[in-house]
Structure 1
Amino acid sequence: MGKRNAIFVSIASFCDSNLLFTLESLFDTASGDLDINVGVFDQSFESINGSIERFQWGDRVRYLHIHPMHSKGVCWARSVIGSLFDGEDFYFQIDSHTMFKKDWDKFLFEQMEKLGKLSCKPIISTYPPPFEFDEEGNPFEKLVPSSYLYALRPKEEGFSSSDSYELKFKVFHEKGGDYITGFHLAGGFIFTLGSFVDEVPYDPWFYFHGEEQGLALRAYTKGWDIFHPRHDHIPLLHLYKQSGVKHDAHHWRSDLEQVRRVKWVERKKVSEERLTDLIEREGVNGRLGLGTERSLDQFIDFSGIDYRVKKINHPETRLVNV
């Protein structure tokens, strides 16, 4: 492998009791072939920095803490984490409730080397398959890994309203190939080159819905290529919210909303306006705006998402073998 390449892992955590589990899983399953540095922005009532420092890998974690009352949401948090990036070769964005498979770092590095022959700016991204905890608190993988591709497509209901550009996405299973070229990014799994942090920095004015759309639009128009992998080529698992579980690990949790000066609905409105301005090229310029390597019309043709008339067409399937 030559010199030891370095990975910067971005973790934005909000009142998440699984943050330490995620960190332990990340370091315990790493191959040791690459240097791993983690940027954590922990928005919680109590700091866990003391617990982190007791681990052998504690000095690999760049930890920030803030009371959740003062948080402005996940995109703001991820933009702050960008300031902890220190020139690592690769950027890996995950959620704070993630479990890893053995040698995840080596596998993703090798996949990026292969994709680098197809694109000078490759991104591996999709919604990871799920894991849960059993009654004894032991994590387990819910699905048997398959050869199906985890392609991201808009949900059937389309645009949320006539005056909004927001879409919701889900995984569609495609058969054949190692990857399928994509047009959407999953905030809980982005693995790419470190230069992504400078070229496509997080926009702190986004809130939650629309985050992934805006990021994907900006990445695509700046020349980045998205690749969705096969299920059995995804070396991480995600703990999804279960029905009946309170939103305690979500920014809009009711106890904090009751005393916040700026409510989550206000931040959501600003976020919706931000996505509108981005698409209409009116109010977002510079590094937080669209790129010049590809146009919005090219994105529309490539993705089938026609933002101009708010219509969704079926895109051409583009399978890739590496």
Structure 2
Amino acid sequence: MGYSPVTISEVTASLRSFLGSLHASFSSHRSASKLEVVSLYTSLAAERLVPFDRDYAARIPARRGDDSIFLSLASYRDENCLPTLSEAYAKSANPHKLFVGLVQQNCEAGCKTGVLDGGKVEDAPPDDDCGKLFCEARPDLCGQVTTFRIDEAEALGPYFARYVGSKLWQGESWYMQIDSHMTFLQDWDLKSVEMLRAAPASKPVLTHYPPAHDDKKGLGGVGPRICDPVIADSAIEAQIVRLKGAPKYEKTVSAVPRFAPFVAAGYFVAHSSFLREVPFDPFLPYVFMGEEISMSARLWTAGYDMFSPSVAVTGHIYVRRHKPKFWETFGRVFNEREPGKDTATHNGVQMLVIQRIKHMLGYPEAAADLVQPRAILEYMDDYGVGEERPLEDYMAMVGIDVVRKSTTPGGNAWCHKGQPPPGFEQYKELYT
């Protein structure tokens, strides 16, 4: 039998079936404990998503050589989705080469606000259908946007939404991932690819935390760079590695993108072949913190090098007070007594799931014989670190010690100075 690339209709049918079955299971277990929630999820993911992923990998679309761009855009009840999508096309150098995978997580009935001042939660109108409104406004571009709709009650957190988004890729040359509350520099797409191509590596990833959307010197200015990790000290973050903000270390724009140690989820650009080598992990539902250090370690060990863009081509709306959060919906699904306040079930589930990331990174408390439930570590060989470079080398390079729960002061001085990391000294002359 000949090679038959997987189709979008097959992808959406498989993912819709999984989400429907999972939601039905959750609805019949509304008093489930955190262990039961995780067990329900992992058993269905193993039954449905692992075979789906393996079939997808065997039939993944061939990469096109036409310089087309795929933009993964995950939106959770975000009123900025339509402006973001519209401006992405309006500011694109080649709008007819820009294809979007929109994962739209909306409330359609019985909606609530986020937590307002005084801890109140009020009724709210249904969310605007971003994909539909864009198609009505730009019918000429509608066919380039694939919208996968997820009801708010079925939402599984930002990382899972990005997993879904990755499956909407249809062979475009370049892969980009952003958030749904962004602004853009003119020709942002072309400039992104040009910077990626200028990076001195065979497998580069262009990434950073974009400047704030209202930073007047942001767009078109020096690109901020993430250099410093911290060990989270919040009780609900399980001492996971977090990334600090991204300062502008240089005063002038560099001709060559500078090396960076980490991947940011809200803006990264890569050759789309990374989808074969570092597929998104379907066993990380409800995870927020931990997404970026997980992808950073997996990409680096698979042979990818991270670079900060020389020029900031996107801006980010960072402050979104009172907007609904996915963990608040989670509480309503599982009958928590104080919607909007009591997030005990979500926090407990997140603490269990995050063990998967901690195990991959070598945290001693997440050793295989200590993790409960054991299903948390299902299929780590499929979605773990790469085989091109040792994880230990990466952790040393970025100055993280997960045993002592510490980061090395000045450990990433090479990043602060805009120099290559240890072992890449041959590229120093590019930055003098």
- For 1:114-162, what per-residue CA distance to the aligned partner results, in whole angstroms no more than 9, with x for missing partners? 22xx211100100001114xxxxxxxx443568655221335x634379
Pick the aligned partner of 1:191 from 269, 277, 295: 269
Structure number having the greater strand percentage: 1
Q: CA deviation at 1:173?
A: 3.2
Matched, 1:167 2:264: no
Q: Aligned to 1:84, what secondary structure does the other structure show?
A: coil
Matched, 1:70 2:165: no
Output the CA distance in 2 between the equivalents of 1:146 and 1:108: 12
- In structure 2, the partner of 1:25 is 87
CA contact (8 A) 1:130 1:143 kept: no
Letter in 1 for 2:78: D
- In structure 2, the partner of 1:127 is 209
CA contact (8 A) 2:174 2:272 kept: yes
Q: Aligned to 1:153, what secondary structure does the other structure show?
A: coil
CA contact (8 A) 1:166 1:272 kept: no
Structure 1: unaligned runs, 5 residues or longer: 133-140
> If the length of structure 1 is used for normalisation, what is the TM-score?
0.85
CA contact (8 A) 2:226 2:244 kept: yes
- In structure 1, the partner of 2:23 is none
Pick the aligned partner of 1:268 from 335, 350, 353: 350
Output the CA distance in 2 between the equivalents of 1:161 and 1:14: 24
CA contact (8 A) 1:151 1:174 kept: yes
Aligned ranges for residues 231-270 of structure 1 at < 5 Å?
233-242=311-320, 245-248=321-324, 250-253=325-328, 256-261=329-334, 263-270=345-352
30-39 or 173-182: bigger deviation: 173-182
Letter in 1 for 2:293: Q
Matched, 1:228 2:308: yes
Aligned residues: 302
- Using a 3 Å threshold, how does the CA distance of structure 1 residues 109 and 199 change in structure 2: closer, same or farther? same
- In structure 2, the partner of 1:51 is 133
Output the CA distance in 2 between the equivalents of 1:33 and 1:252: 35
Structure number having the greater helix percentage: 2
- Using a 3 Å threshold, how does the CA distance of structure 1 residues 113 and 166 change in structure 2: closer, same or farther? closer
- Using a 3 Å threshold, how does the CA distance of structure 1 residues 193 and 252 change in structure 2: closer, same or farther? same
Pick the aligned partner of 1:201 from 279, 283, 286: 279
CA contact (8 A) 2:91 2:187 kept: yes
CA contact (8 A) 2:193 2:269 kept: no
- Using a 3 Å threshold, how does the CA distance of structure 1 residues 74 and 33 change in structure 2: closer, same or farther? closer
- Using a 3 Å threshold, how does the CA distance of structure 1 residues 104 and 146 change in structure 2: closer, same or farther? closer
Q: Aligned to 2:226, what secondary structure does the other structure show?
A: strand
Q: Percent identity?
A: 24
49-58 or 103-112: bigger deviation: 49-58
Q: Aligned to 1:99, what secondary structure does the other structure show?
A: strand
Structure 2: unaligned runs, 5 residues or longer: 1-64, 109-128, 336-344, 369-376, 421-427
CA contact (8 A) 1:93 1:189 kept: yes
Letter in 1 for 2:388: E
Q: CA deviation at 1:180?
A: 2.6
- In structure 2, the partner of 1:293 is 388
62-71 or 273-282: bigger deviation: 273-282
Matched, 1:109 2:193: yes
Output the CA distance in 1 between the equivalents of 2:290 and 2:104: 22
